[in-house]
Chains A and B, each alone.
Chain A
Amino acid sequence: MSEVLEAPVPQSRRVRRRASQRATSLFSNGEPMVWLTGGALALCVVMIVGMLCLVAVQGSGTFWPRALERFERLGASAVLGEVVQRETYEPNAAAFAGRDEATALELRARAERAGNVAERWLVRTENFELTGTHYTWVSDFEVTARSQPEWALSIERREGGPFYGELVGFDVGGERVATEPGAAWALFEEHLPAVVERVEARRAIERDEIGRVNRALEEQRLAVRRAELEHGPDAAPTRAARELAAAREQALQSEFQRLRGEIEALVRQNERFGLMIESADGTETRIPLGQVVRAFPVNQLGLSGRIGVYGARTAEFLTDEPRESNTEGGVLPAIFGTVTMTLVMSLLVVPFGVLAALYLREYAKPGPLVSFVRIAVNNLAGVPSIVFGVFGLGFFCYFVGASIDQLFYSENLPSPTFGTGGVLWASLTLALLTLPVVIVPTEEALAAVPSSMREGSYACGATKWQTIRRIVLPRALPGILTGMILAIARGAGEVAPLMLVGAVKLAPELPIDGEAPFVHPSRSFMHLGFHIYDLGFQSPNSEAAKPMVYTTTLLLIGIVVLLNVVAIAVRAKLRRRFQGAQV
């Protein structure tokens, strides 16, 4: 090629041309751009994969039972706990502080012998009520002995967080019936099922029976209020309603007392049994069996035993309600809230977005107004989400919701029913937020339907709407679903607006449950994204909650991925149906 070009060119020009070719060849042959573009992609992939790996590794390790190690320390009490982190450091004066002079000197000498480089372990010691801390740093020079005690128990409690200690006995009604760990463990395993059953019974009474009584009491109050609103505060019907309510209230109060008695009996029965645990510093603590969720001698567990504990903890996480200001227990209400809100949002936003896109693309005459609307819709995607939250709070909750309350729930006032955040308002707010995400791909999909298909339909005598419904929409459906997938991904991960319109820290009552009318769109709800924020930044001890933050993040990512995979599978199926071998 170059020879052919060069042949007729005079000598001097040829030389100059070659030189200039060399100068530009680096860019003209495009090699650097390959590296630039490829590098940019690689950087993106590394960042995303790195983040996902971090979340996956940290999140999936939370529930794995690690060995409990006991460190005997020189000049300080022993420590029992899980090693969660290790590092080397250069000990300074602070590392030797808090001990008497002789011990400090000894420690310093030891550290210097090792070249003033020490290894230290971060030990998760728990037993917060005894030590006031969840973690302790242990340096290698202060350790005199390190062991994995056979009967070190890891106990998860209903209140007060986990407890680590060595089993020393079993107590029934204040009397120590076993002093040898093996026997105590046998007794514990014997009594635990009955105790758990009583705890469940108590929870059932609290949730169902007392809940029923409370609702009935509320009903009476509302009946009186309704009568007052209808007939005036001193009218005869109001007085009659008040008397009736008072009589019923009497019965309900006695019912309430009876239930309280039942609960107390259950509690008393459970109080009799207790595990005697000696923590690392030698204190003996009695842990009532009613407080125990799960306990296991972790150092005796083999692989299968640990997998069992891991499975049980994961199952609890996925199916239970939260405990201890959300740092323990499960996240079922949050999972349920997230999925419900996202699905309701999709149901609202997809039809709206598709109708709007249909008008813009199919019916509206192209012109400045349509262009302006289109630009406005695109820009809506760039509005900060908190602005949508404020709008949702102001419009949906305080205007629409308050109007609904005035019209239909006036007896409840001043406590709001719809006039405050709730799952319906949250879904509507997010639907508004994700509207452009649906409209833009839908419009593109509509525009991509070949005009030959429309013409063919018109030529058969179809009207515009028949053409849209039978030809355009089915053909554009994969694109519409792309919009839905994007909306789900955007909506499920959104937190800021939800904090204003209905997501709360704790809402054990689900938006859909067995209580008539089964769907409660006005209820506030828990959301995994908000849960993560709450765990990480609002909990009393965010350091201790960190593993749960990772696990919850992993779960949220998993749910978003799952919702997306379902939508993508549906789209792939539709694509196969509407597109053949030839396009």
Chain B
Amino acid sequence: MIRARSETLRSEVVRKSVKPSPSIGGGSTSGQASHERPTRKVFDAVSEKRTFEAELHPALLTEEMVLEVDGFSLFYGAAQALWEISMGIPKGKVTALIGPSGCGKSTLLRSVNRMNDLIDTVRISGTMRLNGDAIYAPGVDVIELRKRIGMVFQKPNPFPMSIFENVIYSLRIDGERKKSVLEEVCEASLRGAGLWEEVKDRLHDSALRLSGGQQQRLCIARAIAAEPEVLLLDEPCSALDPIATGRIEDLIEELKGSYSILMVTHNMQQASRTSDYTAFMYLGRLVEYGPTEELFVQPRLSETEDYVTGRFG
């Protein structure tokens, strides 16, 4: 037993020490010299503990932004998790955040609706604006702010109540009592989340009896019931099987246009299938951000190419 543990420990140490070398090496040796891309800038920035100027594609300039992030840094106590991120999230489009684990995708996402406020040690600098309104200004009412932003989490988290009550939760906490309004919103949201046909006959059953995929679509219905200005999806499919994942992806496709979506995903196929724009992050820095197709097919930085082609991460 003890020996087994020490072996795993050792192998972890080995893996950790070995891991960066192929990626760095990959960046330089795999070459693809024809493209002549600048290399190793991110790794230099990381090792020198400084910020990194992201590569932003010009296509972004034509978009109207629903959310603007400017020089945003975040610290967990002494550790810096985000390094002066500056980016805009286009209105009515799907933007995907990709990057290896621990790169700060989820932290950035949770900063948008200030979920990080729940952690005592978090400090931030820089600004974020939602349709021009500062998110981190001193007088901002966080409760009101969150009502303008919908969020869906990694694991389906339906509340311990009926399907109906789950969907209209945000209206309930606003004190809406009119039954006709509640029912209308419930139906519209469930239709929007593609769940109506499956649950219309058992709206008053416990939401916890639904399958995992249905629960996640219920969470999406709950998020869009408040008609949010931006919808945050934090790896919405990571806990689901491929069929449920496919349904959620179709749903994201359908929601595109009516909602501005910012999603975190670990799955690069998913990012390439569903998103209009993709941002690649690495160790708290935004590396490259542009239209999904460009980023996957013609990335400007070799680090991005290494990541999207699977050489590291």
Contact = CB atoms under 8 A, between A and B. Distances in A.
Contact of B208 (A456, A466, A582): A582
Interface string A126-147: 0000000000000000000000
A581 B161 CA distance: 14
Nearest to B148: A461
B11 to A, nearest CB: 22
Interface in A553-583: 577-583
B169 interface: yes
A261 B80 CA distance: 97
B172 A459 contact: no
B172 A470 contact: yes
Contact of A460 (B207, B208, B222): B222
A287 interface: no
Main secondary structure of the interface of B (DSSP, over half): helix
Given A452-B153, A452-B157, A474-B160, A458 B118 contact: yes
B212 interface: yes
Interface stretch (B81-89, B139-147, B254-262): B139-147
A459 B209 contact: no
B170 A461 contact: yes
Interface string B113-151: 101001010000000000000000000000111110111
A457 B159 contact: yes
Q: Which residue of A456, A460, A581, A582 has the most chain B CB atoms within 10 A of its CB atom?
A: A460
Interface in A412-470: 450, 452-453, 455-463, 466, 470
B212 A475 contact: no
B250 to A, nearest CB: 23
A475 B208 contact: no
Contact of B144 (A453, A456, A461, A583): A461
B144 A450 contact: no
B206 interface: yes
Contact of B115 (A455, A475, A577, A580): A455
A217 interface: no
A462 B168 CA distance: 12
A459 B113 contact: yes
B2 interface: no
Contacts of A471: 159-160
Nearest to B113: A459
Given A455-B157, A471-B160, A461 B206 contact: no
A580 B157 contact: no
B157 A450 contact: yes
B212 A582 contact: yes
Contacts of A463: 143, 173
B115 A459 contact: yes
B229 to A, nearest CB: 12
B247 interface: no
A459 B210 CA distance: 21
Nearest to A459: B151
B236 to A, nearest CB: 13
Given A458-B146, A460-B146, A461-B143, A583 B160 contact: no
A307 B150 CA distance: 70
Interface residues of B, number: 35
Interface residues of A, number: 25
Given A453-B160, A456-B159, A460-B226, A580 B210 contact: yes
A579 B113 contact: no
Given A459-B151, A581-B209, A466 B173 contact: yes
Given A455-B118, A470-B159, A460 B153 contact: no
A379 to B, nearest CB: 29
A190 to B, nearest CB: 65
Given A456-B153, A461-B144, A462-B173, A580 B159 contact: no
Interface string A469-481: 0110011000000
Interface in B149-208: 149-151, 153, 155, 157, 159-161, 169-170, 172-174, 206-208
Contacts of A582: 208-212, 215
A470 B211 CA distance: 23
A580 B206 contact: yes
A63 to B, nearest CB: 48
Contacts of B169: 457, 460, 462, 470
Nearest to A460: B170
Contacts of A460: 146-147, 169-170, 173, 222-223, 226
B219 interface: yes
Contacts of A458: 115, 118, 146
B159 A455 contact: no
Nearest to B215: A582
A571 B198 CA distance: 30
Contacts of A583: 208
Nearest to A475: B160
Given A456-B219, A582-B210, 8 more contacts: A453-B160, A456-B153, A456-B157, A459-B149, A459-B153, A461-B173, A461-B174, A578-B160
Interface of A: 365, 450, 452-453, 455-463, 466, 470-471, 474-475, 577-583
30 contacts: A450-B157, A452-B153, A453-B160, A455-B118, A456-B219, A458-B146, A459-B113, A459-B115, A459-B149, A459-B151, A460-B146, A460-B147, A460-B170, A460-B173, A460-B223, A461-B145, A461-B170, A462-B143, A462-B169, A462-B170, A463-B173, A466-B173, A470-B172, A578-B208, A579-B160, A579-B206, A580-B207, A582-B209, A582-B215, A583-B208
User: Which 6 residue pairs spanning A and B have beta carbons closest together?
Assistant: A580-B208, A580-B209, A461-B147, A459-B151, A452-B157, A461-B146
